[in-house]
């Protein structure tokens, strides 16, 4: 359900969420047609946001600004063709075109480390945070149906 401000119930900009989903589905069709690899990374920030992050994040607006800052930090090191978005204000999702599972694993490790540093900087702490990452790759272990199902679960629309 959308609010008057064009946001979904989680507070995310509904147009941006829909755009990411639509591009992901288009890239999936392209990967299937041209037999390219495609990977989806989901970086889970929910534990951080519900525990340590609560020290500095006190509102929906704070959460949105935090997510945007994390996205900006990742964009600084991601490939130009990679796409990143927030999902439900607790996850960062990345679409990695022409990336197989092993490439996605390497990228996932880089982004986990980068986010752990970002979280430490954010809290002005030297604690090393563990950011869970889930990887779905096409065509490795997943069929088109599994990839689409993962997108649907993340955005709860389709």
Domains of the chain: 14-155 (3.30.70.270)
Best CA proximity match to 41, nearest among 8, 76, 9, 87: 87
pLDDT higher for 77 or 10? 77
pLDDT of 147: 82
Q: Please give the mean pLDDT across all residues of the chain.
A: 85
pLDDT of 18: 82
- What single-letter DSSP state applies at residue 110? H
Phi-psi region of 122 (alpha: psi -120 to 50; beta: other; left: phi over 0): alpha
pLDDT of 21: 87
Geometric angle at alpha carbon 85, from 40 and 110, rounded to 5° = 60
Geometric angle at alpha carbon 138, from 136 and 144, rounded to 5° = 100
What is the tens place of the pLDDT at every residue in 32-89? 899 999 999 999 999 999 898 888 888 889 999 999 999 999 999 999 999 999 888 8
Q: What backbone torsions phi and psi does residue 34 show, to the nearest 5 degrees?
A: -100, 5
Q: What is the CB neighbour count within 10 angstroms for residue 111?
A: 24
């Amino acid at each position: 359900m959308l609010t008057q401000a064009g946001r979904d119930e989680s507070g995310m900009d509904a147009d941006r969420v829909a755009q990411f989903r639509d591009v992901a589905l288009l890239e999936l069709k392209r990967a299937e047609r041209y037999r390219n690899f495609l990977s989806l990374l989901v970086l889970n920030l929910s534990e951080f946001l519900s525990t340590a992050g609560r020290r500095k994040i006190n509102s929906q607006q704070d959460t949105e600004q935090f997510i945007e800052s994390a996205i900006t930090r990742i964009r600084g090191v991601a490939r130009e063709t990679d796409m990143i978005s927030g999902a439900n204000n607790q996850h960062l999702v990345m679409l990695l075109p022409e990336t197989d599972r092993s490439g996605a694993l390497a990228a996932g490790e880089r982004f986990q480390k980068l986010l752990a540093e970002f979280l430490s900087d954010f809290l002005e702490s030297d604690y090393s945070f563990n950011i869970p990452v889930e990887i779905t790759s096409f065509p490795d272990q997943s069929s088109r149906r599994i990839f689409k199902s993962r997108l649907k679960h993340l955005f709860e629309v389709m």
